[in-house]
Amino acid sequence: MFMSIRQMQADMARMEDALGFIGYVVGRINDEHGGQLGASMNIGGDPSLISITGRWESLGAYAQMREAMMADGELQSAIRVGGGLFESAQDMLGQVRKPAGDRDAIAAVNVARMHLPRVTDAIPFAMEVATVVEDITGNATGVATAVTGDRTQLMWFGFSESLDAFAADPEKLEAEEEYVGLYKRSEDLFEPGSLEQSLWQIIA
């Protein structure tokens, strides 16, 4: 399975219009073309960031969806008009090594850079981390690696029903020696200081 991520920086003065436009695009693609897209906005970080994510059984399925979007005259007309709501956009493709659960109100994404010579060791370790987190918190945790962009990037991701529910997980994790020990074991697998977490509120 693969995932696509389009991250856009909206004009803050026109955020309401940008959110409405994103809702239309996601709804159009899902309803008319059978897509599995979702949209979210960053919280606790850059408030101008909006992300559209998609799930694909293969890269071929992703390519077919892009072709269908290009052939959709109504959608392309809307994109030409709505493009001015955003200051920049960037795409990334990833391979889902382990899927997370169903989308919920809040998405938590942790990204780290693997040491290139240790990639074949870092990926199984990341899968182990996801399993430990699931066992302790009860929340399904996904793992993905980059197909485009920085190929050393690895991502853990999962969903919570609220910010309060998300905030309860670190206390559970840090109370478990098995989880705390994973940090020590990771030091030769990932670049020091590269772990970054972002939170996203699902909007579509």
The residues that bridge with 51 in the sheet, in sequence order, are 7, 40
Low-confidence ranges of the chain (pLDDT < 50): none
CB 165 within 8 A of CB 171: no
DSSP for 19-37, written as a single string:
HHHHHHHHHHHHHHH---E
- What residues are paired with 5 via a beta bridge? 53, 92
**Strand partners of residue 84:** none
- The predicted model scores a pTM of 0.93
**pLDDT tens digits, 149-167:** 999 999 999 999 999 999 9
* pLDDT (0 to 100) of residue 5: 98
Q: What's residue 203's pLDDT?
A: 97
Q: Given this model, what pLDDT does residue 147 score?
A: 98
Closest CA relative to residue 15, chosen from 70, 115, 72, 86: 86
The residue whose two tokens read 């803050």 is 12
Dist. CA 172–CA 31, nearest whole Å: 39
